[in-house]
A and B are shown apart, each in its own frame.
Chain A
Amino acid sequence: NAGVTQTPKFRVLKTGQSMTLLCAQDMNHEYMYWYRQDPGMGLRLIHYSVGEGTTAKGEVPDGYNVSRLKKQNFLLGLESAAPSQTSVYFCASSSIAGGAKNIQYFGAGTRLSVL
């Protein structure tokens, strides 16, 4: 059972470089999410998607872009990385079922350092 898989697990970037984080889920979930985790801040929602081809901004979207070309994949892009984007990034997915059945499942995270 793979669940939610994130690649890469670790990455070091220089300021101004770009990169893409990949999230893949094999649970046929409609909803997918990108969070960032910073010490003492908990998890904050960056962007999310309610279905293939649709994306929306979360709490902290600036400096990031996302795409959902395939239902199972959700990509997070940094066009010009900044030190403030040093963080641990988590992807999650949940089913389309509303109410109690909508439980989010998380990947193992990507640890990103921007120098």
Chain B
Amino acid sequence: AQSVTQLDSQVPVFEEAPVELRCNYSSSVSVYLFWYVQYPNQGLQLLLKYLSGSTLVKGINGFEAEFNKSQTSFHLRKPSVHISDTAEYFCAVRFSGAGSYQLTFGKGTKLSVIP
């Protein structure tokens, strides 16, 4: 079984500063990794995903994440945040085997961008 740990429940950051949201996973098999974003009072939107290939993945709104297999991490980064990035961010993992479809989510990180 896989599990996901988001190391920070809340991250405050000043506008235009860089941010990193940390995600570690545990799994005995190969996985796919995802970051979802949830804006206030909205549903979840896929931000980016790692499926295979380059370990640096670029997503929407200037976010990127790097898959590190040796450290079993998939940290999310943005070089300069905006007020509109205030949201909750969820890391998720899925077993990469044929027929796999269930996502396991982390508990979420609330990003607050301070003007």
Contacts and interface: CB of A to CB of B under 8 A. Distances in A.
Contacts, number: 56
A85 to B, nearest CB: 19
Interface in A64-111: 90, 92, 94, 98-100, 102-109
Report which residue of B52, B90, B108 has the largest number of chain A beta carbons within 10 angstroms of its beta carbon.
B108
Contact of B101 (A41, A102, A106, A107): A102
Contact of A45 (B32, B42, B102): B102
A94 B101 contact: yes
Contacts of B107: 40-42
Contact of B100 (A4, A42, A92, A98): A98
Interface in B1-57: 4, 6, 9, 32, 36, 42-46, 49, 51-52
Interface residues of A, number: 25
Nearest to A31: B101
A43 interface: yes
A22 B92 CA distance: 25
B87 interface: no
Contacts of A31: 101
B43 A90 contact: yes
Contact of B103 (A40, A50, A104, A109): A104
B96 interface: yes
A34 interface: no
B60 interface: no
Contacts of B49: 103
Report which residue of A58, A90, A100, A108 has the largest number of chain B beta carbons within 10 angstroms of its beta carbon.
A100
B67 interface: no
Interface of B: 4, 6, 9, 32, 36, 42-46, 49, 51-52, 90, 94, 96, 98-103, 105-108
11 contacts: A40-B107, A42-B4, A42-B108, A43-B103, A58-B102, A94-B101, A98-B99, A100-B52, A102-B94, A106-B43, A108-B42
Interface of A: 4, 31, 40-45, 48, 50, 58, 90, 92, 94, 98-100, 102-109
